[in-house]
Each structure stands twice: as C-alpha cells, then as structure tokens.
Amino acid sequence: MSNTTRKKVLLMGKSGSGKTSMRSVIFSNYTARDTRRLGATIDVEQSAVRFLGGLVLNLWDCGGQSAFVDNYLSSQRDTIFSNVAVLIYVFDITSTDWEADLAYFEDILLALRTNSEDAGVWVLVNKMDLVDKEDPKRKKYGERKDDLLAVDQRVRKEVEEDGKGNVKGVLRCFPTSIWDESLYKAWSSIIHTLIPNINLITSHLTYLRNLNQAVEAVLFEAETFLVIAKSGSPLDCDTNDLDEVEVNKGAKGLDQQRFEKISEIVKGFRKICQRNHEQYQGFEAKFDGCTVVLEPLTRNTYILIVSSDPRIETGALLFNIHQAQNHMSEFGARSVLERKCGLCRHNSELKYDVKGDDDPSVSAWDDAPF
Ligand SMILES: Nc1nc2c(ncn2[C@@H]2O[C@H](COP(=O)(O)OP(=O)(O)OP(=O)(O)O)[C@@H](O)[C@H]2O)c(=O)[nH]1
Ligand SMILES: [Mg+2]
C-alpha cells in the first residue's frame, strides 16, 4: 500500500499579487529580493513538492492575467477546479481596483465551491509591508477581510440554494508580506491542515513537552523550515484566535512571531553553510532563562524544545529526542495508524488531548526513518 497522500493546491489571484514570489521564497530558497526578477506566469505552472514523507503537494500556480483567468473559468473550468484540497487566493493590498478584484474572486470561489465543496480557502492579503507605515492599525486590511467574508457568505448561499452542493470548506484570511515572517505564519497554517494524522502528532509533541518539563515542543519541516505542528494548541485557527490560545496556554511573554523568525534565521544560516560547503545539523544553547535544542527528529523534520527550568540540561533534552527518534521511526514504518498509537497506548501518561483524525486509514505521517 502506498504511503503517499497527494493534495492539489491552487494558487490564484490577480497578476502581480505575489503568487510565484511566495512559492519561490517558501519552496525554492529565494530571498524576497530575488523575486523582483520573476516574470509573469504563463497559464499554469505545476510543481510537486514532497512535504513530509507521506504528503505530496501538487501546486498549481495559475498565472493571473485576465486572459488566463477567463480560460480557467470557461474551457478549463473542470480541469482546474475539481479535486482541489486547498485554494490559496492572493490579493495585493495596494491594488486600486478592489471592486474588480473582488468580482474576480467571487467567480473563482463559485467555480471552486461547485466543483470541490470540501476545499479549504486561504485568502492572503499580500504586500502588507507597503501599507503598514501609513496604516499601522491595519484598518484597510480589516475592511478587506470583511468584504471577503461577505463574498464567502454570498457564494455559500448561492451554491446551497441552487442545490449544487453543501459547502463544508472554510475560508480564512491572513495579512502577508514576502518581506517578513507573516509569510511563514500563513503557509505553516495552510500546510498544518493538510498533514495526515496531524492531531496525533500534536498529541505526541504535547507528551514530549510535558516529559521534558518544557515550555513547548515544535516540529519544523526540514526543507522549508515551516512549522507543521506544535505542542498544545492546533495552529489551524485565525491569527487572532491563535494568539489568544497561546496567551491562555501560558506562552505569554514569548515572542509571538518566534517560529517564523526561527524559520527565516535557520534558512538563512543554512544557505551560508551551503556556500561554505558545510552542512547545517542542529543547534543547542543554554541561556540564563532557558535551554533550547533544535535537532533532526526524522529525515523530514526538525524538533525544537524550549525549557525554562534551569535544572534541565541540554543533554537530557537530547536524550529524550533520541528516544523519540526510535519511537518515530517505528511509528513511521506503519502505513496505517490506529486512532491511538499502538506503540505507546499502554503508556497511561500519554494523553490524547485533541480530537482524532476522522479517517483512520490515512497514511503514516513520515515514512522515512531517520
Ligand atoms: N513589496 C512587496 N512586493 C512583493 C510582495 N510579494 C511579491 N512582490 C513583488 O511583486 C512582483 C510580482 O510578483 P509575482 O510573484 O511575479 O506575481 P504573480 O502573482 O505570480 O503574477 P502572475 O504570475 O502574473 O500571475 C514581484 O516584483 C515581487 O517582488 C510583497 O509582499 N511585498
Ligand atoms: Mg506568477
């Protein structure tokens, strides 16, 4: 039985909004400056990104010039909009023709909802760096978001009233800029919703965090360094809710953009290592207030553990991570996971504090032992 789960991800939005730039920064190691050299995308550029062992994203970067969009909505409608797992729709906040942008979005959303009713929709309002100075409270973004939610409601109603389906996929908005960490935050949240067994992984991270008496345990994908899961709360909620959840869970005082900053720093540092023919392997440090280790967990992931207990030595954290590696490699060798992990369900301390996956037959989350 194949361990691979393929997900079709549509990347759409008006020409120049930043779709190919985002894809290149996240998946091809471009810097934000490098994206200035990109030309307009002609028709659809498809690429496959192997994410964790078992998850392959088929990214459809759809050029946004109106002649192409008209084709997507007519002759290519079925090809483009069927079997979609996620639509990522990118807007340019500086656009001077918001009404026309919204009208296009409504047409696309309607085509999606009638062909793929379960698809999740992520709207990224991009180029926020260009407006943040004159609008620090993000009033304009708030207005844009309200308009987008209104379109979502309208389309839902239309599809349901016409008896064309029962829309289940949700719509979420994120403000982004390729020039800062907001890009990583948005894409981490998107990827998080696509990973099979994510709730089980989250449970294991929570267990590992508690075992280490740590503040948090975070899992990064090794290639992109996007956060894919973290102990405690699921990432797949609105940014405002996420911040609220973190404060309630006691992470107050920690930088709210810490994960995105780590992703950026590690990717930058790894580039320097490559230039000097060195390989980046990991990181450990002991500060006055905390102990931090960032280590490979499996071939496709790194784990970050942060402890604020001064008695905890980095060696102890590393020891527990190495124990978890053994566990995870056995875990990963299975093509089917039971609702409760067969390897540790006899351990009474392990608490499954989040709801299980709906589909018990989804493939193991990482098929490659480290
Ligand atoms: N200031 C700023 N510029 C951005 C941002 N994102 C993308 N850009 C710039 O916008 C320009 C267009 O970006 P692309 O990624 O080619 O746009 P696209 O959406 O792929 O356009 P099409 O392929 O024609 O559909 C590039 O010069 C990018 O450097 C951003 O967040 N902030
Ligand atoms: Mg493009």
Hey, which residues does 50 pair with through a beta bridge?
A: 56
For ligand 1, atom 29, which residue shows the shortest CA distance? Answer: 36
Contact of 88 with 122, CB cutoff 8 Å = yes
Distances, alpha carbon 143 to alpha carbons 93, 140, 243, 286, in Å: 11, 5, 21, 45
**Nearest alpha carbon to residue 367 among 228, 195, 191:** 195
**Nearest alpha carbon to residue 201 among 364, 330, 322, 318:** 364
Q: Is the beta carbon of 328 within 6 A of some atom in ligand 1?
A: no
Residue 32 CA: nearest ligand 1 atom is 29
- Residue, of 308 and 251, whose pLDDT is higher: 308
Residue 17 CA: nearest ligand 1 atom is 19
Lowest mean pLDDT among 65-69, 80-84, 192-196: 192-196
Q: Mind listing the domains of the chain with CATH numbers?
A: 5-180 (3.40.50.300), 197-332 (3.30.450.190)
Most confident among 144-148, 248-252, 345-349 (mean pLDDT): 144-148
Residue 330 in this model has a pLDDT that exceeds 70: no
Ligand nearest to the CA of 16: 1
Ligand nearest to the CA of 23: 1
Q: What is the best residue among 21, 33, 47 to mutate for testing ligand 1's pocket, by most ligand atoms within 8 Å of CB?
A: 21
Residue 183 CA: nearest ligand 1 atom is 31
Instruction: Tell me what pLDDT residue 89 has.
Output: 97
- Residue, of 253 and 176, whose pLDDT is higher: 176
Q: How far is the CA of 77 from the centre of ligand 1 (A)?
A: 25
For ligand 1, atom 8, which residue shows the shortest CA distance? Answer: 18
The vertex-265 CA angle with 314 and 279, nearest 5°, equals 70
Residue 13 CA: nearest ligand 1 atom is 19
For ligand 1, atom 3, which residue shows the shortest CA distance? Answer: 127
Q: How far is the CA of 138 from the centre of ligand 2 (A)?
A: 26
Q: How far is the CA of 44 from the centre of ligand 1 (A)?
A: 16
Instruction: Tell me what pLDDT residue 147 has.
Output: 93
Instruction: Tell me what pLDDT residue 232 has.
Output: 64
Q: Is the beta carbon of 273 within 6 A of some atom in ligand 1?
A: no
Q: Is the beta carbon of 40 within 6 A of some atom in ligand 1?
A: yes
Q: Is 328 left (phi over 0), alpha (psi -120 to 50) or beta?
A: alpha
Q: Is the beta carbon of 14 within 6 A of some atom in ligand 1?
A: no
Q: Is the beta carbon of 137 within 6 A of some atom in ligand 1?
A: no
Lowest mean pLDDT among 22-36, 73-87, 221-235: 221-235
Q: Is the beta carbon of 291 within 6 A of some atom in ligand 1?
A: no
Contact of 119 with 84, CB cutoff 8 Å = yes
Q: How far is the CA of 114 from the centre of ligand 1 (A)?
A: 29
Q: Please write down the HEC assignment for all residues of the chain.
A: CCCCEEEEEEEEECCCCCHHHHHHHHHCCCCCHHHHHCCCCCCEEEEEEECCCCEEEEEEEECCCHHHHHHHHCCCHHHHHCCCCEEEEEEECCCCCHHHHHHHHHHHHHHHHHHCCCCEEEEEEECHHHCCCCCCCCHHHHHHHHHHHHHHHHHHHHHHHCCCCCCCCCEEEEECCCCCCHHHHHHHHHHHHHCCCHHHHHHHHHHHHHHCCCCEEEEEECCCCCEEEECCCCCCCCHHHHHHHHHHCCCCCCCCCHHHHHHHHHHHHHHHHHHCCCCCCCEEEECCCCEEEEEEEECCEEEEEEECCCCCCHHHHHHHHHHHHHHHHHHHCCCCCCCCCCCCCCCCCCCCCCCCCCCCCCCCCCCCCC
Q: How far is the CA of 28 from the centre of ligand 2 (A)?
A: 14
Q: How far is the CA of 141 from the centre of ligand 2 (A)?
A: 23
Residue 30 in this model has a pLDDT that exceeds 70: yes
Q: How far is the CA of 349 from the centre of ligand 2 (A)?
A: 49
Q: Is the beta carbon of 19 within 6 A of some atom in ligand 1?
A: yes
- In the predicted model, what is the mean pLDDT of residues 107-116? 92
Residue 130 CA: nearest ligand 1 atom is 1
Residue 291 in this model has a pLDDT that exceeds 60: yes
- Residue, of 176 and 361, whose pLDDT is higher: 176
Task: State how far the Cα of 276 lies from the Cα of 292, in Å rounded to an integer.
Answer: 25
Residue 68 CA: nearest ligand 1 atom is 25
Ligand nearest to the CA of 63: 1
Most confident among 10-19, 237-246, 257-266, 335-344 (mean pLDDT): 10-19
Query: How far does the chain reach from its first CA to its final CA, in angstroms?
Result: 21
Contact of 190 with 83, CB cutoff 8 Å = no
- What percent of the chain lies above the pLDDT cut of 90? 31
